[in-house]
Amino acid sequence: MEIEEIARIAYEINIALLKSYGDRSQPPWEIAPQWLKDSAISGVKFHLANPDASPSYSHELWVEELTAAGWVYGPIQVNSIKVHPLLIPFDETPQSHRTKDWVFRQVVRSLSAKC
């Protein structure tokens, strides 16, 4: 299975999980902005290379990646000006997002085992 396909599946599963919490902020993969797809692909690559890494470590690398790309913390996500509410330590993110990161890691593990 290709890395982008794993990323798409993990991303779509995370959308379903977030919807179960009432969060409809993530667009479907087909219309997601490229930075969001790239972020999912980067997450897959990270977990493939570091299968025992914790979701909190993955989150911290994600924060570093977005910060390096010019994103800043803000209470509401505004893509056009690169503001994101999850640019905070993993333990301070809402439970729904911590769960999403755990699920993402497991999906990558499960699908990569089939490669």
> What digits encode the pLDDT tens for the residues 27-65?
999 999 999 999 999 999 999 999 999 999 999 999 999
Q: Which tokens hold the place of 75? A: 């209470």
Say yes or no to pLDDT of 114 above 80.
Answer: no
- pLDDT, tens digit, for every residue of 43-53? 999 999 999 99
How far is the C-alpha of 13 from the C-alpha of 95, rounded, in Å? 16
DSSP annotation of 88 = S
Reported pTM: 0.90
DSSP annotation of 66 = H
Q: Residue 114 — φ and ψ, nearest 5°?
A: -90, -5
